[in-house]
Amino acid sequence: MNEKVKIGIIICDRYKSCAGGKCFRAIKERAGAFDIYMDKDIELVGYTSCGGCPGGNIEYAPEELKKNGADVIHFATGMVVGYPPCPYIDHFKKFIEKKYSLNVVVGTHPIPEKYYLTHKELETWNYPNWDKLIAPTLKTEDIRLNYD
């Protein structure tokens, strides 16, 4: 049996009605930010939104996810591909890691190509630290097209 990692996913509140299809597919396929778990089983222990700007649920949701056994929190890819991308993402990441001692990974499913092209044209991610934030989900054009 493979080692198991328990994850919680926090999505942008703009997408709170998202059914999670791409995230769940990426878990199954170990795609996008989930490729770091190729040799592990994944158990999803919670899925919630940030609570809306400026992220009121960020203060409380990680505690519940941790009580449910979360080893790591993933911020859904929508937080970096939505327009505009989450302006609080760095603050959220630092807060959760410090307060709850949980590792935070930015991203879930691969960035779809259509979003990549839009953000590239708009130069959305041409700011310090964004290359690091999108790296776990950027992947290749073929993979991005597969998640359009």
Structural domains in the chain? 3-146 (3.40.50)
Q: Nearest-CA neighbor of 47 among 135, 127, 108?
A: 108
Contact criterion met (CB below 8 Å) for 7 and 72: yes
Beta pairing partners, 4: 41
The pLDDT, as a whole number, for residue 115 is 96
Tens digit of pLDDT for each residue in 37-86?
A: 999 999 999 999 999 999 999 999 999 999 999 999 999 999 999 999 99
Q: In what order do the strands lie in the sheet with 40-49?
A: 40-49, 3-11, 72-75, 103-106
Residue 127 has pLDDT above 90, yes or no: no
Residue 1 has pLDDT above 70, yes or no: no
End-to-end CA distance of the chain: 33
Q: Nearest-CA neighbor of 110 among 83, 145, 72?
A: 145
Tens digit of pLDDT for each residue in 138-148?
A: 999 999 999 99
